[in-house]
Amino acid sequence: MSIQQVRLINSIGRFRAASASGDVTFKKFTLIFGENGRGKTTLCAILRSLQTNAPEIIEGRKTLSSTNKPMVRIAMNSGTAVFADSAWKSPETRIRIFDAQYIADNIYSGDAIGTDQRRNLCRVVLGQNGVELARKYDQCDAGINAKNAEIRTARATLTQYVHTSQISDFIELQADPDIDAKIETKAPEVAGLKESDKLRTRADLDSIELPPLPTNLATMLESTLEDVSRAAEQAVRKHLASHHIAGDESWLSDGMELMSGDTCPFCGQSTKGLDLIEAYRAFFNAEYQKFCSKITRYKATSEQLLSDDRIDLALSRLAGNESNAEVWAQYVSIKRPALDKKANIKESMTAFRDILLDLCAKKVASPLDRVTVPRAYHTAYSAFEATKKLVDDYNEHVKAANALIAGYKKTASAAQTQAAEKQLAGLRLIKKRHEPEIAAGCTLYSKLTAEKDELDRQKAEARDALDTYSTDVLTRYRNYINANLRKFSAGFHIGEVRVEYTGRVPNSTFCFIINDTLVEMGNAETPINQPSFKNTLSAGDRSTLALAFFMAEIAEDPNKADTIVVFDDPFNSQDHYRRTCTITEIRRSGNNVGQVVVMSHDRHFLRETHIRRIAPTEMEGASTLGAMLGRIRENEQVPQALKLAYDDIDDINTYTRQYMHGDPNYVQGKRLSSDELAGFVEKVLLIVGH
């Protein structure tokens, strides 16, 4: 396959209306010179659009301000390729292009190798067969992603009832024709066990506590003080009587405690020498105060024990026991405690309290007077005593009931309740599993997961096939690349090329070796203090590496004999020696491909490319090194090692010939490059080493 003519380019880049004129027919080797900005890159873009059938490449380069539609017409040896109305009509074409776009897409971008370059290079390295295997892998991966989305949707229906991890077990549940009857039997059982579980924390019955009966009341009421002065007592009582407050000397007792010195705390006048004050002091002495305190405490204790709060507490417990015993009686065979109707707690306690406190109040008012216990007190005492006995009987019943309740609590098991609940939940799941909507969901989920499993199997199979294929291809690729790097006298070589599956999509990665040290390719995020592609290779090294990959791609192409190879300024950042090597490799590739097109802004590079010849000089009977090389190549009896070294020997011959007077390409006074010479000397030494 080859290009014959570029006959028309309209409204693309700088080509407003370019048409072929004169002898512009492309040859086996076609060299195109053009200064910067003259359309070489545009022509490459047109060929890349044809190569990939990507009209958008041309649409994006439409001539600015032009109203005409882009149009291209390229004559091929197999027909005419036409671009019109944003589409290509073309015979099958095989084109490979080496330019800045190829490098940016497949090798490196800027100063680093990114994810896109690694993925694209993987396809470049693997070739057509490998790409097909990778495509199958990608299809499986894409299918798995799509299937996972469907599975998530189907799963959402089922996870309303079971956890994701339980879906498989849920689907396997078998239908049960008696499921409704089983649920109807199990549900009440669970309800009863739940109630039992609650009863384990339910309170027992409460005993009713009534205050003890008072003792020594009569003794306290009839007690007095014999050592109190009778004269002082008469004086105090007379004074109280004169003010109509007889029988209540407590206020006087309190007042005496406030007296300090000989001054009245009320009126401020002197009390010195007053007989009444002396009578007060004799009457309200320390013994008297102690006696009164005892009486007061007796009264206060009685008030507390027989208070309304204590009465209400007893009645509240009685009522609480009635409702609590009613609940417990449903589960425990207890005899419900019942207080005898004769026991009227509130009335008996209130009546007894009132008469008791009344007697205490009289004694507090006149501590030295004897107070007689009336018959009414004894009557109230007997009534309260009878109530207490009935309450004691009631408490014995409470104690017996609580013993039975405690036994029941010990037998109630939380584990039993949980087991029954689990059984009921399982029965309900069986019923839910076979409802029409859920059954359909289970069928769909099973179908989708089976399809995904099959895709997983196919993906694993595709990966194994790709790994097996790539191992052989990558080894050949690495060897070919390293051979090219040696030709270019690069100070590094590829240590390993491998296929990885980071991010699920196949991508390539490689490491290179400098000074016997392995360096990983890294990426744009690799720290600058770590060796990687971006900080260990010079611009010339990167350009050489890219060209080596491209030449390896051509060498591995089974259809290279029918392929057009295009080079656009392929010698960027190269010194003179590597530039010479680039020219040699371009010319050599022409022996194996359908056509070579070289575009450059450097006329000297194109001139050197034009005059260099790779094929040996065929001069019958001549003994030149070139003729000998030709015979070596054609003679099948030549050792294989010598055949493998043929290209390097031919390069040495071509290089040295330009400095010989008899060669037609000899240039008088041509300056010798020491770097270039060192590179060819290294080749000689390697051959000798063979």
C-alpha torsion 184→189→191→197, nearest 10: -160
At 500 the three-state DSSP class reads strand
Q: Tell me the pLDDT band of 618, cut-offs 50, 70 and 90.
A: very low
Question: Does 477 share its domain with 494?
Answer: yes
Last residue of a domain, one of 592, 614, 636: 614
How high is the mean pLDDT of the chain? 80
Q: Would 621 be classed as within a structural domain?
A: yes
Listed in sequence order, the residues at least 6 apart from 162 whose beta carbon sits closer than 8 Å to its beta carbon are 169, 170, 429
The number of residues making up the chain comes to 690
| Cα–Cα dist 255/249, whole Å | 10
Q: Enter the DSSP assignment of 149.
A: H
- Tokens 């006087």 correspond to 252
| Residue 690, pLDDT score | 45
Q: What is the pLDDT of residues 547-594, one digit of tens each?
A: 888 888 888 888 888 899 999 888 777 777 788 888 888 888 888 888
Question: Does 482 share its domain with 608?
Answer: yes
> Higher pLDDT residue, 624 or 142?
142
Find the angle CA(294)-CA(300)-CA(306) to the nearest 5 degrees: 135
| Residue 251, pLDDT score | 63
Q: Is the pLDDT of residue 467 over 50?
A: yes
Q: What is the pLDDT of residues 321-349, one digit of tens each?
A: 999 888 888 777 888 888 888 788 999 99
**CB of 565 closer than 8 Å to CB of 554:** yes
Q: Which of 495, 472, 466, 510 is nearest to 108 (CA)?
A: 510
Question: Does 571 share its domain with 477?
Answer: yes
> Higher pLDDT residue, 113 or 69?
69
Q: Tell me the pLDDT band of 22, cut-offs 50, 70 and 90.
A: confident
| Cα–Cα dist 629/650, whole Å | 7
Q: Tell me the pLDDT band of 613, cut-offs 50, 70 and 90.
A: very low
| Cα–Cα dist 192/200, whole Å | 13
CATH code of the domain containing 545? 3.40.50.300
Q: Would 684 be classed as within a structural domain?
A: yes
Q: What average pLDDT does the segment 45-65 reach? A: 89
Question: Does 608 share its domain with 541?
Answer: yes
Listed in sequence order, the residues at least 6 apart from 262 whose beta carbon sits closer than 8 Å to its beta carbon are 270, 271, 272
As a whole-number percent, the residues of the chain with pLDDT over 70 amount to 79
Q: Tell me the pLDDT band of 380, cut-offs 50, 70 and 90.
A: very high
Question: Does 603 share its domain with 626?
Answer: no
Q: Enter the DSSP assignment of 560.
A: G
Question: Does 476 share its domain with 604?
Answer: yes
| Cα–Cα dist 542/485, whole Å | 11
**CB of 578 closer than 8 Å to CB of 571:** yes
| Residue 587, pLDDT score | 83
**CB of 687 closer than 8 Å to CB of 649:** yes
Please state the domain count of the chain.
2
Termini Cα distance of the chain: 38
Strand partners, 6: 74
Question: Does 540 share its domain with 628?
Answer: no
| Cα–Cα dist 289/254, whole Å | 10
Strand partners, 596: 29, 565
Question: Does 571 share its domain with 629?
Answer: no
Q: Which of 161-165, 415-419, 477-481 has the highest mean pLDDT?
A: 161-165
| Residue 670, pLDDT score | 64
Question: Does 26 share its domain with 61?
Answer: yes
Distances (CA, A) of 351 to 354, 360, 363, 377: 5, 15, 19, 9
Q: What average pLDDT does the segment 200-205 reach? A: 84
Q: What is the pLDDT of residues 255-307, one digit of tens each?
A: 666 666 666 766 666 666 555 555 555 555 666 777 788 888 888 988 999 99
Name the token pair of 36: 């910067």
Q: Would 283 be classed as within a structural domain?
A: no
Question: Does 471 share its domain with 566?
Answer: yes
Q: What average pLDDT does the segment 353-375 reach? A: 87
**CB of 629 closer than 8 Å to CB of 650:** yes
Q: What is the pLDDT of residues 219-267, one digit of tens each?
A: 888 887 664 445 555 666 676 667 666 555 666 666 666 666 666 766 6
Q: What average pLDDT does the segment 480-495 reach? A: 81
Q: What average pLDDT does the segment 615-633 reach? A: 55
Q: Is the pLDDT of residue 471 over 70?
A: yes
Q: What average pLDDT does the segment 377-395 reach? A: 92
Q: Would 15 be classed as within a structural domain?
A: yes
Q: Tell me the pLDDT band of 489, cut-offs 50, 70 and 90.
A: confident
Last residue of a domain, one of 614, 630, 664: 614
Q: Would 628 be classed as within a structural domain?
A: yes
| Residue 656, pLDDT score | 77
Q: What is the pLDDT of residues 37-53, one digit of tens each?
A: 888 889 989 998 998 89
Q: Would 41 be classed as within a structural domain?
A: yes
Between strands 29-33 and 595-600, the pairing is parallel
Q: Which of 18, 58, 27, 24 is nearest to 41 (CA)?
A: 58
Find the angle CA(497)-CA(502)-CA(506) to the nearest 5 degrees: 60
Q: What is the DSSP string of 649-680?
A: HHHHHHHHHTTSTTSTT--TTPPPPHHHHHHH
Q: What average pLDDT does the segment 114-124 reach? A: 71
Q: Which of 187-191, 262-266, 545-549, 684-688 has the highest mean pLDDT?
A: 545-549
266 backbone φψ class: left, alpha, beta (φ>0; ψ -120 to 50): alpha
Last residue of a domain, one of 589, 614, 639: 614
| Residue 565, pLDDT score | 92
As a whole-number percent, the residues of the chain with pLDDT over 90 amount to 18
Q: What average pLDDT does the segment 80-98 reach? A: 89
| Residue 639, pLDDT score | 54
Q: Tell me the pLDDT band of 125, cut-offs 50, 70 and 90.
A: low
Q: Is the pLDDT of residue 393 over 90?
A: yes
Q: Tell me the pLDDT band of 628, cut-offs 50, 70 and 90.
A: low
| Cα–Cα dist 337/322, whole Å | 8
Q: Would 301 be classed as within a structural domain?
A: no
Q: What average pLDDT does the segment 647-668 reach? A: 68
**Domain containing 674: what range?**
615-690
**CB of 686 closer than 8 Å to CB of 648:** yes
Q: Would 351 be classed as within a structural domain?
A: no
Name the residue type at position 672: L
| Residue 615, pLDDT score | 41
Q: Is the pLDDT of residue 644 over 50?
A: yes
> Higher pLDDT residue, 59 or 22?
59
Name the token pair of 483: 């051979």
Name the token pair of 492: 């590094």
Q: Tell me the pLDDT band of 627, cut-offs 50, 70 and 90.
A: low
| Residue 221, pLDDT score | 87
Segment among 100-114, 200-214, 634-648, 666-680 with least mean pLDDT: 634-648
**CB of 514 closer than 8 Å to CB of 86:** no
**CB of 499 closer than 8 Å to CB of 470:** yes
Buried (b) or exposed (e) across 238-268, using 16+ Cβ within 10 A?
Answer: ebbeeeeeeeebeeeeeebeebeeeeeeeee
Q: What is the pLDDT of residues 155-172, one digit of tens each?
A: 998 888 888 888 899 889
What is this structure's pTM? 0.50
Work out the number of other CB atoms within 10 angstroms of the CB of residue 515.
7
| Residue 614, pLDDT score | 39
Name the residue type at position 524: A
C-alpha torsion 560→561→567→570, nearest 10: 70
Q: Which of 209, 211, 217 is nearest to 305 (CA)?
A: 211
Question: Does 475 share its domain with 597?
Answer: yes
Question: Does 608 share its domain with 623?
Answer: no
Q: Is the pLDDT of residue 621 over 70?
A: no
Q: What is the pLDDT of residues 590-612, one digit of tens each?
A: 888 888 999 888 887 887 777 65
| Cα–Cα dist 658/653, whole Å | 9
Q: Is the pLDDT of residue 503 over 70?
A: no
